[in-house]
Amino acid sequence: MKYLPIPSKLFTQNRERFIKKMKPNSIAIFPGNPVLPTNGDAMYTYRPNADVVWLSGVVQEKSMVILYPDNPDKNAREVLVLLRPNEHLEKWEGHKLRKNEATDISGIKNIQWLDGIDTMLQVMMHHADTVYLNTNENDRLDTSLFRPDLLFVHEFMKRYPVHKYERSAPIIKEIRAIKTKEEIAVTQEAVNITHKAFERVMKFIKPGVWEHEIEAEITHEFLRNRASRHAYDCIIASGDRARVLHYVENNQQCKDGELILMDFGAEYGNYCADLTRTIPVNGKFTKRQKEVYNAVLDVHNYAKKILKPGISIIDYTAKVCAEMEKQLLKIGLITKNDIKNQDPENPAYRKYFYHGVSHHLGIDVHDVGTRVLPVKEGMLFTIEPGIYIEEEQMGIRIENNVWLTKTGSTDLFKNILITVEEIEAAMKRK
C-alpha cells in the first residue's frame, strides 16, 4: 500500500457496528474478491471487496472476515482468513501479509490461513443457527455478468443446506452509509490530495495543452502524495465534450475560449474523494460562460443549504431541480411557456440537466446508502449540479463532498476555489 497505516480502531468500530445488528447465535461470512484474468495469463489490477476492507482494512486477494459474536470459543468470535504466504509466489507477486501484520491492520487477533479454514468453519456452523452471507446488491449492478459472490453463496448453501440464511447487504447498506469521524479523517486525506492536484493543473492549463496531459499532471500529484489510485476514471472534457457525463477518452486539445470540465478524485486508504470543477482554458470566463457558471453555483449552494438530516433524497432532488428550473429560466435556456407545456415525466429542465444531484460517497465512489428514505447525520454525499448546452457546445458542473452533521453539513472541499473570481485570480497568478 502507498498510504500510511490507518488506525485499526476504524475497522474495530465497523465490526462492532455490524455485530450489533446480528441475530442471536448467528455467524456472518464476508469472502473477499479473487484476482480476475484479462487475456492469457494476465490479470486485472486487483480491487478488493469493499465490505471486507470496511471490516478489516486488509487489501489482499481472497481474504475473508468471519464474525460469530456468540461463539462459545471466545478466541474465535472474530476471524480474519488470509492466503498462506508462499515463498515461490512471493518471488513473482511480492509480499503477502503475515499474521502479526494482519492483526496490526485490522485489530483482529485470530488470523487463519485459507487452506486450513474448513475445519474451524465447520465447527462454527454446527453451533450457529443463522448465517449471514454477503452479495452485491447495488441497484445498478449488471446481473448478466459472472458473479463470484453468488458462486460462493451457492456452494456454501449446498454444503450447509438446513441452516437459516440472512442477507448481509441490507445491514451493510444501512451502517456503511453512516461515516464515523475516523472514516472522515481518512476521506479528508483523499480530499486534500485531490485539492493539491487541482491546484497543480490550474497552473498547468493553457490553450494548446491536451486533455491527457492534464490527466498525467493529476496522476503525478496523486501518486507523489500516497494516493492508491484514481477513485474512478478521470474525466478531462474540454469544449463540447463536457456534455458527455462519463467522457474518459481525454485525447483532445484544449482550445482558447473553451471551458474545461474536470471530474476526478484520489483514493487514499481505500476511501474516495470526488471533485468537479469547470474552468476557462485561457483563464478568463466570457460573459456568457460566467452567467451559466454562476447559475450552476447558485444551484450548488442551494443544494448544500437544504441537504441536512431529515430530508428524503426524493424531496431533496425535487427541491434542487425546482431551483435549477428557476436558474435556467433566468439565463434564458427555458421559458415560462416551456414550463407550462412540459411533460411531467420529462420536464423542461431535463434538456440541460440530465443526471442526479448527489450520491453517497465512501469506500466506493458510488457508495451504498438509501436512495429514497430521509438522510441521516453522518452520511457523506456529493453535490454536483450541472448545466449542459448542446447549441452552445458548453458543459459546466461543480461538485463538492459534504458530511452531514446534526444541523447541516461540513464541506470537505471548503478550502478549494469555487467562484468565478477566485478561479480567474488563481489562473492569472500562474
Give per-residue pLDDT as tens, 368-390: 999 889 999 999 999 999 999 99
pLDDT(99) > 90: yes
Element (H, E) at 267: strand 266-268
17 and 147 share a domain?
Answer: yes
130 and 150 share a domain?
Answer: yes
pLDDT at residue 1, as a whole number: 85
Nearest-CA neighbor of 138 among 183, 93, 173?
Answer: 173
| Structural domains in the chain (count) | 2
Three cell numbers, residue 408: 447541516
Three cell numbers, residue 338: 416551456
152 and 275 share a domain?
Answer: no
Query: How far apart are the C-alpha atoms of 205 and 48, rounded to whole Å?
Result: 35
283 and 139 share a domain?
Answer: no
Burial of 126 per CB tally in 10 Å (0-12, 13-18, 19+): exposed
171 and 78 share a domain?
Answer: yes
Among 50-54, 147-151, 350-354, the minimum mean pLDDT is found in: 147-151
123 and 262 share a domain?
Answer: no
∠ CA 236-267-190, rounded to 5°: 95
What's the average model confidence in pLDDT over 308-327?
97
Query: How far apart are the C-alpha atoms of 131 and 172, rounded to whole Å?
Result: 15
Q: Tell me which residue has cell 462459545.
A: 72
Identity of residue 154 = H
Q: Which of 151, 176, 201 is the last residue of a domain?
A: 176
Write the DSSP symbol of residue 107.
Answer: -
Q: In what order do the strands lie in the sheet with 380-383?
A: 380-383, 400-404, 409-411
163, part of any domain: yes
Task: Please answer whether residues 372 and 313 qualify as being in contact, where contact means their C-beta atoms are separated by less than 8 angstroms.
Answer: yes
What's the average model confidence in pLDDT over 334-359?
96
193, part of any domain: yes
Q: What is the CATH number of the domain that holds 119?
A: 3.40.350.10
Query: How far apart are the C-alpha atoms of 123 and 79, rounded to whole Å?
Result: 13
Q: What is the CATH number of the domain that holds 292?
A: 3.90.230.10
342, part of any domain: yes
- Residue 349 binned pLDDT confidence (cut-offs 50, 70, 90): very high
Mean pLDDT of the chain: 96
Three cell numbers, residue 387: 448545466
1, part of any domain: no
Query: How far apart are the C-alpha atoms of 80 and 110, rounded to whole Å?
Result: 6
147 and 231 share a domain?
Answer: no
pLDDT(338) > 70: yes
Query: How far apart are the C-alpha atoms of 357 and 245, rounded to whole Å?
Result: 13
135, part of any domain: yes
Convert the pLDDT of each residue in 269-305 to its tens digit. 999 999 999 999 999 999 999 999 999 999 999 999 9
Query: How far apart are the C-alpha atoms of 351 and 368, rounded to whole Å?
Result: 28
Domain that holds residue 19: 9-176
2, part of any domain: no
152 and 136 share a domain?
Answer: yes
Query: How far apart are the C-alpha atoms of 411 and 408, rounded to whole Å?
Result: 10
pLDDT(430) > 70: no
pLDDT(140) > 90: no
Which residues fall within 8 angstroms of residue 194, CB to CB, at 6 or more apart?
Answer: 264, 265, 266, 273, 275, 413
206 and 104 share a domain?
Answer: no
What's the average model confidence in pLDDT over 68-74?
97
- Residue 145 binned pLDDT confidence (cut-offs 50, 70, 90): confident
Nearest-CA neighbor of 392 among 321, 333, 338?
Answer: 333
pLDDT more than 90, % of the chain: 91
pLDDT more than 70, % of the chain: 100
Among 148-157, 321-330, 351-360, the minimum mean pLDDT is found in: 148-157
Distances (CA, A) of 353 to 114, 280, 289: 49, 20, 16
Convert the pLDDT of each residue in 7-64 to its tens digit. 999 999 999 999 999 999 999 999 999 888 899 888 888 899 999 999 999 999 999 9
Nearest-CA neighbor of 199 among 128, 134, 113, 264?
Answer: 264
4, part of any domain: no
Percent helix, strand, coil in the chain, to 5, is 40, 20, 40
Neighbour tally for 205: CB within 10 Å: 24
Convert the pLDDT of each residue in 179-236 to its tens digit. 999 999 999 999 999 999 999 999 999 999 999 999 999 999 999 999 999 999 999 9
The three-class DSSP label of residue 31 is: strand
What's the average model confidence in pLDDT over 255-261?
98
Nearest-CA neighbor of 382 among 350, 348, 359, 405?
Answer: 359
269 and 307 share a domain?
Answer: yes
Which residues fall within 8 angstroms of residue 340, CB to CB, at 6 or more apart?
Answer: none
